[in-house]
Structure 1
Amino acid sequence: MRGGRAFYFFGALGAVLYGYDTGVIGGAMLFISDDWQVGSFAEGLITSCILVGAMIGALFGGPIADRIGRRGVVFVCSVIFFLGALASAVATDVATLVAARTVLGLAVGGASVIVPLYLAEMAPTHIRGAIATMNQALIILGVGLASLVTFLARDGGAWRLAFGLGAVPAVVLLVGIAFMPETPRWLVKRGRDDEARAVLSITRPAAIVDAELAEIRDVESASVRSSGPAVLWSTPWIRAILLVGVGLAVAQQLTGINTIVYYTPKILESLGATETFALFFGVINTVPNLVAVLIAARIVDRVGRTPLLTYGSVGTALGMFALGLPQLLGASPTVTNAGAVAGLVIFTVTFSLTWGPVLWVMLSEIFPLNVRGAAMGIATIANWVFNFAVSLSLPVLIAAWGTGAVFTMYGLFGVLVLGFVVKWVPETKSRSLEQIELDFRR
């Protein structure tokens, strides 16, 4: 199993880059705004442009992974991560920074599809949820590292260094690709059964290898032979699952997570916090978030996916109400600031325990093998589209309505998300990917 752990580590390393390159902008914007005197729209554009690239990366990452393999997409993403980080570090104005981070977004989008897909297809059924939560754990680690770098660089305003350091884990990922095999399910799909057996032999007990390989073959032989958008929409049971997947992806964004990821330093500073505290909060808040996602890894295969999403919808809504209602109702500065800090902690810890890891666990499980990459790509695009809308609109909405009204609105969205989970989301724990597919066919 030691080799299996190496597969999981390097397979999930793209999530560190995803977290770092999306999270670094929150602290960096404090310095960029001073250096370049950017307005609220330009601030939103710099923050959200990476998401445009991410949409494109997610759109093509899934189908390309189905065609050339999961490992090939990881290689392409690692190269783009490296070049995009360096280009962002040497940007000379708003236009060049937007261009660099848009290109960087191609890798972020590709990684958001391929990391959970790779982990789910490599992991044994009984720990699949736990392994898939590595994606969220390393995203949080990446965001925490970005917060730490911008905090340490605060005196010199070294936002260029913060961007450039994103190239370091990209190099580690490039090296790590040498240790990553293709997933057994993709190999079976391509008729390379002997290679699939070799991979299964590393990550499974010898006694179950042949049985699992036979199960993968049976489902593959029963699958619709064609793939892509036509099959996704023309096959009723696949279409139904795709709509659930897209709904989950959109629901995660409607909790308001990326209002927190991208704008926490700005939010705290607007409430009167010092720049040093606003940056340091992102560093210290990483600890409870990592603890929460590690707890999720321990319980997701026992408690199940839908209970965690249900509790998570309630907790994230409460966090948003704590952020928004005191300001909306005109509470004293002491109450408002206490509510903001409490709301941020409640929201981020709850999200890290529930919606953060569980979304990607479920998206990597519910789609059938022959369209898994394409379907995950579509669901991930939906996630990035709403991510983009949230991040671009937040500075404008806060300027127009005020912070209290905006965060209260996201609390109400959380109530709607709760209703969606209760009514439409199926449970997938304790079943192999092949069993899940067969159950959905019925």
Structure 2
Amino acid sequence: MMSTDGTFGAKTSSRRDRSEQTNLETSHMSTLDDSTVLTQSRSKRYGLFVCLMAALAGLLFGLDIGVISGALPFIAKHFVLNDRSQEWIVSSMMVGAAIGALGAGWLSYRLGRRYALAIAAVLFIVGSLWSGFAVNPAHLIAARLVLGLAVGMASFTAPLYLSEVAPRQVRGAMISTYQLMITVGILAAFLSNIGLSYIADWRWMLGVIAIPAAFFLMGVLALPDSPRWLLQRNRGDEARAVLQRLYGNPADVQAELEQVNEDNTRPQRGWSLLRSNLNFRRSVMLGIVLQVFQQLTGINVVMYYAPRIFELAGFATHEQQLWATVIVGLVNVVATFGAIAFVDRWGRKPILYAGCAVMAFGMCSLGILLHAGVAGLVAQSLAVAALLLFIAGFAMSAGPLVWILCSEIQPQQGRDFGIAVSTLVNWVANMVVAATFLSLLSTVGEANTFVLYAILNVIFGIVVFFYVPETRGVSLEKLGNDLMAGKRLRDLGKAS
């Protein structure tokens, strides 16, 4: 009995010990799970902060695009300017932007993406204040050249930085946030223009941008360096620390390091790679074509000369034109949310197809209405609806997706150079469009001008079909390897 009781007691004690050990292990695992969840939650919040702060470069970009449309009539009246002088004031920013985009490639490679953005922020402040205090048209053109340098640097560096810090699953949405900030900036500028138009003070319209630029500068200094840029500099420990803050999960950090590290062993070669490698020339050319067609959609014609377009549509007073322009800005913002919501679900190409079709229909409809003559409330309403349809089509497609694709299709060893070239071309095309629109209206006619833009949007859709790859959910390294292996551009990222 004693033996039996003792054995039974021992077994019971053993089971109790095992049960307590299991409970301890379960409790420990639960604690670890809670800790992991908390860490990942913090990482997501930090990653969102980083992406939003970098995307604020787009806000300043948008403010500088939007503000000139409202300020230009007052500037023209103050300095007694003709159409050609007004075109130069508008397009001078694009000249600076082209130079800034070209220089940003070197700066972001040498100093890092973060410091390139900080320099852009300083230039935003200087250019805005100078614009507000300009004493003659020459000073204003020079000040807008400085602003252009800032815009060009930001338009190159911000999408590049976002593509390198955002996880591939949400990369499209994060880069689209940059475009969203551009639209928010344009809308904010339109609203500011209305408020300041009552005192007819164009100096405040241009100078007030220095305030958000100062906040942007402070925020940029709190950003981390790009992990890919750090790895190019053999600063692996710093890159791991940044990825740990961005990803949270050590397994994800290690996987990303292994994938990125292999690609980063190839140094940036730029010009030499362009001269020697046909495959790299293909990706550079695709980036150029995409940026040219983004401008040939006609979007910045609307943004820079919106009051003039609404005047053609029958809106007589400047106040009516400005309020109509605000509606354009609001539609631009709302439609961009569509790109953020669906770009990583539906893919890049389906959204581009839909956008090109909508833009072509909107521009063609506006051209037909102008040809028939916009007289009466119904015709005016239809003209506004056609213009807003065009804006919505651009904001959900070509606006954000061209910047996304141009930051994705370049291989690591030529990424800085390739994106710099495509961004430079964007601003050259932007400058040509802005500098010729008023002249185009007077030569080919108002209606024919908008029909021409409709035709260009149809051609854009055809180019997307034959040459643009679907990059949704594909790593930058996979896209680069496929390109350099000689795959067709439209097949980059597809399984072999």
User: Does the TM-score normalized on the shorter chain lie above 0.5?
Assistant: yes
2:66 aligned with 1:23, yes or no?
yes
| 8 Å contact kept, 1:322–1:342 | no
Which of 191, 197, 200 is the aligned partner of 1:157? Answer: 200
**Paired AA for residue 254 in structure 1:** L
**SS at structure 2 position matched to 1:303:** coil
What is the Cα-based RMSD across aligned positions, in Å? 1.4
Contact 1:252 1:359 in 2 (8 A): yes
Query: Residue 282 of structure 1: CA displacement?
Result: 2.3
State which of 60, 64, 72 in structure 1 corresponds to 2:115.
Answer: 72
One-letter code aligned to 2:422: A
Separation (CA, whole Å) in 1 of partners of 2:336 and 2:188: 16
When Rg is computed on C-alpha atoms for both structures, the one with the higher figure is 2
Deviates more, 1:118-127 or 1:286-295: 286-295
Determine if the alignment matches structure 1 residue 269 to structure 2 residue 274.
no
Give the corresponding residue for 1:290.
333
Secondary structure at the aligned position of 2:185 is classed as: helix
Q: SS where residue 22 of structure 1 aligns?
A: helix
Q: Which moved more, 1:200-209 or 1:351-360?
A: 200-209
Q: Within 5 A, what are the aligned runs for 1:365-380?
A: 365-380=408-423
The AA in structure 2 aligned to 1:312 is G
Residues 6, 179 of structure 1: 8 Å contact kept: no
1:208 matched residue in structure 2: 252
The answer to whether the aligner puts 1:176 opposite 2:219 as a matched pair is yes
The corresponding residue for 2:291 is 249
TM (normalized to structure 2)?
0.86
Paired with 2:361 and 2:241, the residues of 1 have a C-alpha distance of 48
The answer to whether 1:57 aligns with 2:108 is no
Q: TM-score, normalised by structure 1?
A: 0.97
Contact preservation (8 Å) 2:314, 2:375: no
Cα shift readout 1:281-325 (whole Å, capped 9, x = no counterpart): 222333332221112111101111111111111111111112212
| Alignment match, 2:9 | none
2:263 corresponds to 1:219: yes
Residue 35 of structure 1 aligns with which residue?
A: 78
Deviations 1:378-413 (A, max 9, x none): 001111111101100001111223211111111111
CA distance in 1, matches of 2:113, 2:294: 25
* Contact 2:114–2:224 (Cα < 8 Å) also in 1: yes
In structure 1, the residue matched to 2:25 is: none
- Please list, as runs of the form range in 1=range in 2, the aligned pairs for 1:9-408 lying within 5 A after superposition: 9-204=52-247, 205-221=249-265, 223=266, 225-273=267-315, 274-330=317-373, 332=375, 334=377, 336-408=379-451
Asked if 2 retains the 8 angstrom alpha-carbon contact of 1:66 and 1:371, the reply is: no
Between Structure 1 and Structure 2, how many residues are aligned?
440
TM-superposed deviation, 1:207: 2.2
Shift of 1:138: 0.3
Q: How far has the Cα of 1:227 moved from its partner?
A: 1.2
- Give the partner amino acid of 1:418: G
Q: Whole-Å Cα distance in 1 between the matches of residues 245 and 366 of structure 2?
A: 48
Q: How many Å apart are 1:328 and its aligned residue?
A: 2.4
Amino acid at match of 2:144: R
Distance 1:310 1:226 in 2: 33
Task: Please give the alpha-carbon distance, in whole angstroms, between the structure 1 residues aligned to 2:472 and 2:73.
Answer: 43
Equivalent residue number for residue 478 of structure 2: 435
Report the alpha carbon displacement of residue 415 of structure 1 after superposing the two structures with TM: 1.2
TM-superposition CA deviations, 1:326-369 (whole Å, max 9, x none): 22245655565233201210011111111111111111111112
> Could you tell me which residue of structure 2 aligns to residue 416 of structure 1?
459
CA distance in 1 between partners of 2:300 and 2:76 (Å) = 19
Amino acid at match of 2:132: A
Q: Which runs of 5+ in 1 are unaligned?
A: none
Q: Secondary structure at the match of 1:38?
A: coil
SS in 1 for 2:343: helix
Q: Does structure 1 conserve the Cα–Cα contact (< 8 Å) formed by 2:124 and 2:213?
A: yes
Separation (CA, whole Å) in 2 of partners of 1:37 and 1:349 = 35
User: Could you tell me how far apart the structure 1 residues matched to 2:376 and 2:290 are?
Assistant: 36
Q: Give the superposition deviation at 1:229.
A: 1.9
CA contact (8 A) 2:288 2:421 kept: yes
**2:39 aligned partner:** none
Counterpart residue number, 2:17: none
Q: Do the aligned partners of 1:57 and 1:109 also contact (CA within 8 Å) in 2?
A: yes
- Alpha-carbon distance in 2 for matches of 1:283, 1:410: 22
Q: Tell me the SS of whatever aligns to 1:247.
A: helix
